[in-house]
Amino acid sequence: MSIYIASDHRGIKLKEFLINKLKENHNIIVSQIPNQEEDDYPDFAFDVCLNMSKENDFAILICGNGIGISIAANKVKGIRCARVVSKDDAIASRAHNHANSISIPATIDEEEAYEICMAFINTIPSNEDRHVRRVNKIKLFENGEYNEL
């Protein structure tokens, strides 16, 4: 399992903090797209999400408010990215929605961001029928196979 991480220009400081904390115990892969004074969050989301294993890896994405980069990430087939601002969000997104990516706002406290990331990484997806059924519907829809509406 690898953890991919990327940010736009607004999240560089938080990204560097998280890389330094997470690299002690995890294989970290950083987006190779260089940050510029005014760059575009979709580029970072697409770079990370296209390259990661959707089944085995995680992504941590950072932009100003965490929303734009999550929208871009969710356009990549196989990505389930949740914008999270708390440990509870991180746990629920992983357990209930089997998220493989999270996005966080660049303005969040660094230590809180680290705790959120660790909660996400350490949470096991739920095997409860209702959660599995819902995630499977998302996967089927994404593949053009869900037509039960």
Residue of 49, 63, 81, 117 marked catalytic: 63
Q: CATH number, domain at 133?
A: 3.40.1400.10
Is there a domain that residue 44 lies in? yes
Number of domains present in the structure of the chain: 1
Is there a domain that residue 148 lies in? no
- For residue 140, name the pLDDT band (cuts at 50, 70, 90): very high
Residue of 9, 26, 96, 131 marked catalytic: 96
CA angle 85, 90, 91 (to 5 degrees): 145
Crossing angle for the helix pair 12-22 and 110-122, to the nearest 10 degrees? 50
- What's the half-sphere exposure (Cβ side, CA atoms, 13 Å) at 37? 0
Is there a domain that residue 10 lies in? yes
Backbone φ and ψ for 132, nearest 5 degrees, come out as -65, -45
Q: In the annotation, is 63 catalytic? A: yes
Q: Enter the tokens of residue 129.
A: 């029928």
Is there a domain that residue 117 lies in? yes
Q: Enter the tokens of residue 70.
A: 């999550």
| Residue at token pair 């959660």 | 131
Mean pLDDT of all residues in 29-33: 96
What local confidence, expressed as pLDDT, does residue 146 receive? 84
Is there a domain that residue 34 lies in? yes
Helix (H, G, I), strand (E, B) or coil at 97: coil
Mean pLDDT of the chain: 97
- For residue 147, name the pLDDT band (cuts at 50, 70, 90): confident
CA 113/CA 52 separation, integer angstroms: 21
Is there a domain that residue 149 lies in? no
Note down the domain range covering 99. Answer: 2-142
Q: In the annotation, is 9 catalytic? A: no
What local confidence, expressed as pLDDT, does residue 92 receive? 98
- Do 38 and 13 contact (CB within 8 A), yes or no? no
